[in-house]
Amino acid sequence: MLVFKIKELLEKNKISRYKLRQYSTLSYERINDYYFGRVKSFKAEELEQLCEIFNCNIQDIIEYKKHK
């Protein structure tokens, strides 16, 4: 299972979802999907953009957890 850590990155960088919407080309709905873990598929472009905004690596955004 993939876990997206956008909520933690937003809190750490003191950025709101609204500001992330302004900084990126992602829709507010798409940001909420990442925020609430509802993402079923994603584009490399989205991850690249998030890495640039948060100045981080992909593993800071996505974490793999085994199903229990």
Of the candidates 67, 49, 66, the one whose C-alpha atom is nearest the C-alpha of residue 6 is: 49
Question: Structural domain tally of the chain?
Answer: 1
| CATH number, domain containing residue 29 | 1.10.260.40
Contact criterion met (CB below 8 Å) for 37 and 43 = no
**Is the predicted pLDDT of residue 67 greater than 90, yes or no?**
no
**Is the predicted pLDDT of residue 44 greater than 80, yes or no?**
yes
pLDDT tens readout for residues 46-65: 999 999 999 999 999 999 99
Length of the chain: 68
- CA 16/CA 41 separation, integer angstroms: 23
- Quote the domain boundaries for residue 50: 2-64
- CA 65/CA 68 separation, integer angstroms: 9
**What pLDDT is attached to residue 1?**
87
pLDDT tens readout for residues 9-43: 999 999 999 999 999 999 999 999 999 999 999 99
- Where does the pLDDT of residue 68 fall: very low under 50, low under 70, confident under 90, or very high at 90 and above? confident
Residue 62: count other Cβ atoms within 10 Å of its Cβ. 17
